[in-house]
Amino acid sequence: MDPELVLASSSPRRRDLLARLGIVPGRIASPDIDERPRKAELPRVYALRMAEEKALAVTRGVDEIVIAGDTTVAVGRRILQQAENPDMQRGFLKLLSGRRHHVLSAVAVIDTQGRMRSRICDSIVCFKRLGDDEIESYIGCGEGLGKAGGYAIQGRAEALIDWMAGSHSGVIGLPLYEARILLRAAGYPVD
């Protein structure tokens, strides 16, 4: 009998991304962890720690595999958290305007034996130079609130991206290449 997959995330985007691999989680569990970065914590270390802590925070049954992810937007060493309000989002978009930034998307998988494996995907995204009117229009659509860096590439923000290198699915919220590798290594049947 194949193991059940537990998605340690309440994100509908991660569920939709798994569906692209033909995967429907047997169970979805929302992890409750402290997502504040530690003092002087580097973005890559933070993203991996978040994915691993989310996976560990979910109760795993005997024949269950847990998958968790974290998407972190970073400008240099600065971590841009989820935009909690329009002012925070405005500040993020002004910072990102006309410059490149990193989107670090980590994934962690715990197999049926309790062994954790994790990987990180580093994508580079560059917004066009944004005018104040474009920033206000994007804020007005509401899709960037609650998102790391204040934007959602799978929505209207995609039209504001000048170029990108890396994983589109990773920028959305779960790097499918890395997720597939980790799930297969954990014994989950994925083509």
Q: What is the CATH number of the domain that holds 54?
A: 3.90.950.10
Tokens of 13: 């985007």
pLDDT of residue 190: 87
Is residue 151 very low, low, confident or very high in pLDDT (cuts 50, 70, 90)?
Answer: very high
Determine, yes or no, domain membership for 57. yes
| pLDDT recorded at residue 2 | 81
Asked if the structure places residue 67 within a domain, the reply is: yes
**pLDDT for 105-132, tens place per residue?**
999 999 999 999 999 999 999 999 999 9
Q: What is the pLDDT of residue 54?
A: 98
63 is catalytic: no
What confidence category does residue 38 fall into, taking pLDDT thresholds of 50, 70 and 90? Answer: very high
Residue 164 maps to a domain: yes
Q: Which of 63, 70, 111, 162 is catalytic?
A: 70
Q: Which residues of 137-165 are buried (b: 16+ CB within 10 A; e: fewer)?
A: ebbeeebbbebbbbbbbbeebeebeeebe
Q: What is the pLDDT of residue 79?
A: 96
Q: What percent of the chain is modeled with pLDDT above 90? A: 95
pLDDT digits (tens, 9 = 90+) for 67-85: 999 999 999 999 999 999 9
Range of the domain at 58: 4-185
Confidence of residue 140 (pLDDT cuts 50, 70, 90): very high
Whether 51 is covered by a domain: the verdict is yes
Within a domain: 68:
yes
Kindly tell me if the per-residue pLDDT of 1 is higher than 80: no
Count of domains forming the chain: 1
The pLDDT assigned to 10 comes to 86
62 alpha carbon, distance to own chain's centre: 27
Neighbouring-strand partners of residue 7? 28, 67
